[in-house]
Amino acid sequence: MSLVMSQILNAVMLGCTYSLVAIGFSLFFGVMDVVVFCAGDVAIFGAFSILAIVTMTVLQPVLDTFLPQYVTIFLLVSFSAVATAALMLLMYKLVIKPFEGKSALMPLLSTIAAGIALSELIGIFYPQGRNPQAFPQLLSSDATVLGGMMSERNAIIILATIVLVTLLYWFVNKTKLGLAIQAVSQNKEAAIMIGINRQLSITVTFLIGGLILGIGGFLVASYSNIVRFDMGAMYGLKGFSAAVVGGLGSIYGAIVGGMIIAFIEVFVSAFIPGGTAYASVAAFLMVVVFILFKPEGIIGEKSVEKV
């Protein structure tokens, strides 16, 4: 029983990391109708920026001397989240904005290319960037909570996701800017007509998406304890799959989708003999089946094409 329970918690945790990148995909898709494929690589860039600060500078020990440990971590993660937000905005300017109003194929390919370029740049310019890097154990995995069921690290991953999603919920539904973003994603022309600054909404969406991706990158690196320069492609693909399974454009769908993908992966590798190698295969097969039979996702509106 405890085996099942611990696997469930494990899946929830993995699901949290997938959900965050899926939320990024959904936000961008909602506001601009593009799939920003470099999201995974941007997230991993965030993880590398934390790694660089911790291993190459003395910032962490200096901060640790007069601040509590969690404040230091919070500062580090905020820094990397700001960096990824800036990077995301740069990506928007470079490879998404020029293709506005053109065939959907173009931003798809340009963002894939941008993601590869980003990961290759990390691989080339980060010292020993092509080898897997041990990610610093900022969150301790020894201390446990819930009667030994879950390590403190995992609890923090889940907690951080819940806090983030709550904040996002508040922002999207309770602030004027958030409502403006919703309006833009529902109907671009109508939103412009009632005086919403569409460009501002898009910029803010990309900033927020970038922040979330940065935090997601930190969590996924903490979860797997290592970072590799090319991890972003797979992370992004899983995140996009999660967004599609949940319903592209829906934030709650992204969370549901992330959980489903994570549960399938964890359960296939835990309970099917020799299943570890086939965990991703099962997850992707499920995605294919889902797109074929329920393309609008679990939470999503069915779109009917009009001539």
Partner 1 sequence: MFSKNSVLALLVSVVGCALLYIALEGSILVALAVLVLALGLMVVGERTGKVDLVCRSVSDHKRISLAVVSVFILILPFMISNNYLLHVAVMGGIYSIVTLGLNFQIGTGMVNFATAAFFGTGAYTSALMATKFGLSPWLTTILGMVSAASLGILFGFPALKTRGYYLSLITMSLQVIFTLMIINTSWLGGPNGVPGVPAYSIGDVSLRMPLAIFGLDLPYQANYLYLVFILLGLTVFAALCLHNSRTGLAWNSIEQDEIVAITQGINLTKMKLLAFALGAAFAGLAGGLYGHYTSFIGVEDFTFSKSLVFICMVLLGGIDNPFGVVLGALMLTIVDEKLRDFADYRMLMYSLILIVILLLRPQGLLPKRIRQYQAANKMREAKAWFSLKGERSSP
114 or 165, CB closer to partner 1?
A: 114
Residues engaged in binding partner 1 (CB under 8 A) = 35, 94-95, 98-99, 102, 104-106, 108-110, 112-114, 116-117, 120-121, 123-124, 130, 233-234, 237, 240-241, 244, 248, 277-278, 280-281, 284-285, 287-288, 291-292, 295, 305, 307
Phi/psi for 271 (5° steps) reads -115, -10
CB of 251 to partner 1, least distance (A): 18
The label of the residue with tokens 């154990």 reads 137
Distance, CA of 218 to CA of 17 (rounded, Å) = 9
259 or 287, CB closer to partner 1?
A: 287
4 or 109, CB closer to partner 1?
A: 109
Residue among 15, 29, 34 at smallest CA distance from 216: 15
First to last CA, the chain: 55
CB of 73 to partner 1, least distance (A): 32
For 108, what's the count of Cα atoms within 13 Å in the CB-facing half-sphere?
A: 7
- Helices (H) and strands (E) in the chain — how many of each? 12, 4
CB of 9 to partner 1, least distance (A): 26
130 or 170, CB closer to partner 1?
A: 130
Residue among 29, 46, 19, 31 at smallest CA distance from 108: 29
42 or 50, CB closer to partner 1?
A: 42
45 or 218, CB closer to partner 1?
A: 45
Tell whether the torsion through CA atoms of 72, 73, 78 and 83 is positive or negative: positive
Distance, CA of 81 to CA of 98 (rounded, Å) = 25
CB of 234 to partner 1, least distance (A): 8
Residue among 7, 3, 1, 25 at smallest CA distance from 253: 25
CB of 286 to partner 1, least distance (A): 9
Tell whether the torsion through CA atoms of 268, 235, 12 and 131 is positive or negative: positive
CB of 63 to partner 1, least distance (A): 34
